[in-house]
Amino acid sequence: MSNSTPFPPVSGEFSTEQKEYLQGFLAGAVASGQLPFVGIDAQGQLTGDAAAGGVNLGAPPVEDSVFGTPIDDLCKPEVWKHELNGLDVWEKMVEHAEADRFPDDADCFRFKFFGLFHVAPAQDSFMLRLRIPAGIVTSTQLRGLADLADDLGNGRLDITTRANFQIREFKPKDIINVLTRVQDLGLTSKGSGADNIRNITATPTAGFDRDEILDVRPYARAVHHFILNNRDLYGLPRKFNIAFDGGGTISAAADTNDIGFFAVRVGEGVADIEPGVYFRVCLGGITGHKDFARDTGLLIKPSEAVPLAAAMIRVFAESGDRTNRKKARLKYVLDSWGFDKFIAAAQEKLAFDLVRLPREKCAPRHQVVKHGHVGVYRQSEQGLNYIGPVVPVGQLSTRQVRRVADLAENFGRGEIRLTVWQNFLLPYVPNAFTSSVEHSLERIGLTTKPSTTAGCVIACTGNQGCKYAAADTKAHANAVAKHLRGKKESDFPLNIHLTGCAHSCAQHYCGDIGGIATKLKDGREGYHIVLGGGMDNEQGIAREIFKGVGHDELPALVDRIVDTYQEKHDTGETFVA
């Protein structure tokens, strides 16, 4: 480690004060019989005497399995996690920064525990994914991230489908600088990649929604901090998603999560249940594998959400498949065990009794407004509004980010909300200023005018920044949106989702029109097109209708699909299969 590091090297020596403390502690432990013998040698090193029945504090216990899976059977990422916990790679990252060096495969995987992704060969650089519970960001944080993206990245922030930001194109030498600057802003990226719990999402209108049953921000925040501060909730068999739905206007796509907490109201006259607001608990969403989270029957008090989430994550950590990555998500534990066994295992870790109640005993959810994230809408507080612009495929230049921060400060309360629809809301705008804000957003290229066809075109990162992608999804989605905007409207708001590979980050199976990228025989980038998917009250898995459509044919095909729908649909008939 060179002297240029901003961090002092960790010394192997104990200070005099530390030695005295340790001597006292160890003497107490020996006297109480907890340790048969141990000492500190003249160099200040801990010693143990095996011949005298002592202990060796320096050697960690050797484990021959991970939650019952023998080491020899673990898949490669599990071996990497077993050899070195991804939470313990800070010094390695410092070394890589000093050497301006990219990590090998094992460390590449481990660095994702800090949200750092080496995205080669798509780009020979790092991407940082943050974690922003409930997608709530302040104007100060926006400016700080814009500065960071300008100073060390590519001058852009990307909004993800988990209401989160990614910043791209960092050099290895800058990774520590990037991580510390993010932390200085009161943000973190810890656990946003690899086999960890991803950003906790929530209804983006929480706290000001006219229809909400419960303001879910405190619960999203509480789970976020609980995870951050419990090491055993990292290093799961695979990634894990949690969302909170407060019953408000805009969907948080909670039914696509491993755990979806849905606020519900229970009225008078339900046996053994006090009237009030609860969460229903849905489990096992993974739409890339064509499954939504299903209602378990569990009805919990809001205050029970954190311990229940922790218990369920721990059961998953103990029981998930650590040999086969394709079968390592929660869905497969549930498929094999069923809800009853899984809930019973979670119950064993809880100090309160879990209660189940049929869904129909709860009040139905208020309908989501499908494109309610675009346009101007009244808040619950008299005279205030939230404004949602379309952010083309979620990409914001730093110039736009700074302007949005100005608008949030000048016309709102210095806060924006990211949505899972790859855009943001600017809340708390008084009636008198909505037009000014809309006008200002238009001037930076962010329209607030809803469009039933082009109002929600979602794309994953694509091959400009992700090695798994078979196509430039963002460019192709932009081409589709541009083609549709101003050309026509449909009777029913459409969601169009383009995804680059089977990981389905853009959830193509949930789009009215979805596409999964493929390479065509003639070398062009193209898509298999699925139709009829949806979430929430339109829940459905889209079916493949067209195979191998060239990206250059996509805008015209989408056009024809919309035309056909307009001509043929019955009154009120949607795309959902």
By the rule CB under 6 A, 160 interacts with ligand SF4? no
By the rule CB under 6 A, 256 interacts with ligand SF4? no
By the rule CB under 6 A, 561 interacts with ligand SF4? no
Compute the distance between CA of residue 286 and CA of residue 91 in angstroms, rounded to an integer: 35
Compute the distance between CA of residue 49 and CA of residue 371 in angstroms, rounded to an integer: 69
Angstrom distances, CA of residue 47 to CA of 19, 42, 123:
13, 10, 49
Q: By CB under 6 A, which span of 156-164, 241-249, 267-275, 466-474 interacts with ligand SF4?
A: 466-474
The answer to whether 306 touches 261, Cβ cutoff 8 Å, is no
Which residue in the set 469, 480, 531, 549 belongs to the binding site for ligand SF4 (CB under 6 A)? 469
By the rule CB under 6 A, 166 interacts with ligand SF4? no
Give the nearer residue to ligand SF4 in terms of CB position, either 260 or 500: 500
By the rule CB under 6 A, 455 interacts with ligand SF4? no
Single-letter code of the amino acid located at 460: C
Cβ at position 473, least distance to ligand SF4 in Å: 6
What contacts 88, CB < 8 A, 6 or more positions away? none
Strand 543-550 to strand 259-266: parallel, antiparallel, or no bridges (unpaired)?
A: unpaired
Please count the residues of this chain forming the interface with ligand SF4, following the rule CB under 6 A.
Answer: 11
By the rule CB under 6 A, 500 interacts with ligand SF4? yes
Which residue in the set 399, 503, 524, 569 belongs to the binding site for ligand SF4 (CB under 6 A)? 503
Give the nearer residue to ligand SF4 in terms of CB position, either 127 or 313: 127
R_g (Cα) of the chain, nearest Å: 26
Q: By CB under 6 A, which span of 105-113, 211-219, 432-440, 495-503 interacts with ligand SF4?
A: 495-503
Please give the DSSP secondary-structure letter assigned to residue 368. P
Residue nearest to ligand SF4 (CB): 500
Which residue in the set 157, 407, 505, 510 belongs to the binding site for ligand SF4 (CB under 6 A)? 505
Compute the distance between CA of residue 217 and CA of residue 163 in angstroms, rounded to an integer: 13
Cβ at position 321, least distance to ligand SF4 in Å: 20
- DSSP secondary structure string, 452-480? TTTS-EEE--GGGT-TT-SS-HHHHHHHH
The answer to whether 492 touches 455, Cβ cutoff 8 Å, is no
Q: By CB under 6 A, which span of 161-169, 220-228, 378-386, 500-508 interacts with ligand SF4?
A: 500-508
- The structure tokens listed for 550 are 């060239």
Which residue in the set 504, 510, 513, 536 belongs to the binding site for ligand SF4 (CB under 6 A)? 504
By the rule CB under 6 A, 499 interacts with ligand SF4? yes
By the rule CB under 6 A, 466 interacts with ligand SF4? yes
Compute the distance between CA of residue 267 and CA of residue 271 in angstroms, rounded to an integer: 10
The β-bridge partners of 129 are 166
By the rule CB under 6 A, 483 interacts with ligand SF4? no
Cβ at position 241, least distance to ligand SF4 in Å: 13
Question: Cis ω on the peptide bond leading into residue 121 (within 30° of 0)?
Answer: yes
- List, in sequence order, the alpha helices (H) in 320-377: 330-337, 339-347
Which residues here bind ligand SF4, judged by CB under 6 A? 460-461, 466, 468-469, 499-501, 503-505
